[in-house]
Structure 1
Amino acid sequence: MSKKRMVAATVAYDGTEFFGFQGQPKFRTVQGEFELALQKIFKQKVISFGAGRTDTGVHAWGQIMAFKVPNEKMSIKNIKDAMNSVLPKDIYIREVKEVPENFSPRFHAKKRIYHYFIMPKRDPNIFLRNRVWWFPYDLDIHKMREGAKYFIGEHDFTSFKTGNDERNPVRTIEKIRIIKLNNGLILIRVEGISFLRRMVRNMVGTLVKVGTGTWEPEKIKEILEAKDRSQAPASAPGEGLYFYSVLF
């Protein structure tokens, strides 16, 4: 009996109509729709594994989902085309490739990159309402960059996690870039190995407080050292966040 091939799909999705990534029996999720598509193609239940979970409303450009292929005759192109023909319009498979049998998108990831988009304009763009955080006030991008420096390196991020995330709160942020784009949007790009629940959104919420001048950049160091979620502001909304890519 031949072993089943393991493949990894690079998946983009619009998170607006999903109750997050992880499969749940009574809710529409990305993993749920993905496995439903696999079942339609292969006529049997196929389990998938993702590189990271995203919350309700959060999008992805480079989520990685791995699964074993029951049909050994299907080519990589066949798998991609079949998936895209049955998946709903808010999920698209950008690429499929063969990976080692023991491949784990979650445990083999060396870096995860998130993008967060803010639109600091007086009037909203209603066509981007589920794509960016509309913020009707000016932001000082230079102060935000100063504040972001305090996140770089290994820290206890207890102040920047939400809910009952029992994992080790010590995380490493490798790089943060804050860029003003030509269309007026502000892009916050965060690179790290792994993240706690809502950690990026909580970091963005704090950087925005600095950008408005409510807090000085050094306040971020103080919040990190407090190890107390109540010291940090509310999370930035989910619609501005994109799981951009995973490096292995």
Structure 2
Amino acid sequence: MKRFAIEFAYDGTNFFGYQGQPSVRTVQGELENALERIFKVRIYTQAAGRTDAGVHAVGQVAAFNCPIERLTPVDIKNALNANLPADIYIKRAWEVSKDFNPRFAAKKRIYHYYISTKNKNIFLRNYMWHFPYKLNIQKMREGAIFLEGEHDFSSFQKGDDKKNPIRTIFKVRILEPKNGVILIRVEGISYLRRMVRNIVGTLIKVGLEHWSPEKVKEVLEARSREKAAGTAPPHGLYLYKVLF
């Protein structure tokens, strides 16, 4: 039996997150429903990561077994796009080894978070965090350096997350294009629940100059969610790319 991987994008606005759940609309649910329509049997998928409700993806990756040997990657891509809703799009498909699991095979996951400091654009309200306040980008960059490397990220995890808080962040970049949109790019191996959004919330405190850049190091070392800033809203966050 062949096994395929797919890279796909989705608009997370109308989903209750990625992971399949009963009685609510999820990305995994829609993907597996489409596969069932194609193959007439339930096909289960494994993804590189799970995104929360309202979070988007540009380059999510999932893998599944294909019960029809003659299908090619192009066939898989076209069949899925013909059966998926308009807010999910398959960008490419390729054949992988039978033991390929994108969750464990991923070497790097890159997230993008977009913040608009311009006048509010209601047509972008689901895709950027509108934050019309002056931010000191240089101080945010100085604070972000403390997050790079292997650390205990207990201060940046969701309160009920019981996973091992030791994570590795390769790089945090903060870019400010001329159109007034700030991009926070986080590159790491894996993440705790809401970790990127909590990092963004803390860097915003630094950008407002309510906290010094060194406060980020203090929050990190406190290993307490209560010491960090609030959580940035989900709609500015995108799973941008998964590297293997």
TM class by smaller structure: over 0.9
1:85-119 deviation line (CA, Å, top 9, x unaligned) = 11000000000000111001000111100000000
The aligned counterpart of 2:155 is 159
The one-letter code of the counterpart of 2:117 is P
Pair 1:27-2:24 in alignment = yes
Number of residue equivalences: 244
| 1:94-133 equivalence runs, <5 A | 94-121=91-118, 123-133=119-129
Once the 2 structures are TM-superposed, how far is the Cα of residue 120 of structure 1 from its aligned partner?
1.4
Residue 177 of structure 1 corresponds to 173
Note if contact 2:116-2:182 (Cα within 8 Å) is conserved in structure 1. yes
CA distance in 2, matches of 1:26, 1:76: 31
For 1:243, what is the secondary structure of its paired residue?
strand
Which runs of structure 2 are paired with 1:16-95 in the superposition (5 Å)? 16-95=13-92
Aligned to 2:141: 145
Shift of 1:182: 2.7
Distance 2:72 2:208 in 1: 53
* 1:234 Cα deviation from its structure 2 partner: 1.1
TM-score by length of 2: 0.99
**In 2, distance between residues paired with 1:173 and 1:229?**
18
CA contact (8 A) 2:57 2:238 kept: yes
Determine the C-alpha separation between the residues in 2 that align with 1:205 and 1:68: 39
Displacement of 1:163: 2.9
1:14 aligned to 11, 18, 24, which one? 11
Does the aligned pair in 1 maintain the 2:159–2:225 contact within 8 Å? Answer: no
User: What percent of counterpart residues are identical?
Assistant: 60
Instruction: Report the RMSD for the aligned CA atoms in angstroms.
Output: 0.7
Partner letter of residue 144 of structure 2?
A
Equivalent-residue separation in structure 2 for 1:26 and 1:235 (angstroms): 27
Shift of 1:73: 1.5
SS at match of 2:103: coil
Deviation of 1:74 after TM superposition, in Å, equals 1.4
Matched AA of 1:137 = Y
TM-score, normalised to structure 1, is 0.97
Q: Which residues of 2 match residues 218-233 of structure 1 at below 5 A? A: 218-233=214-229
- Give the Cα–Cα distance (whole angstroms) in 2 for the partners of residues 197 and 205 of structure 1: 14
* Contact 2:110-2:241 within 8 A present in 1 as well: yes
Q: Distance in 2 between matches of 1:201 and 1:105?
A: 23
Partners of 1:76 and 1:163 lie apart in 2 by 41
Task: Give CA-to-partner distance per residue, 1:160-187, whole Å, 9 cap, x none.
Answer: 0013211110111101110011321000
Counterpart amino acid of residue 22 in structure 1: Q
The one-letter code sitting in structure 2 at the alignment partner of 1:103 is F
Consecutive aligned runs of 4 or more in structure 1 exceeding 2 Å deviation: none
- Aligned residue for 2:102, secondary structure, equals coil
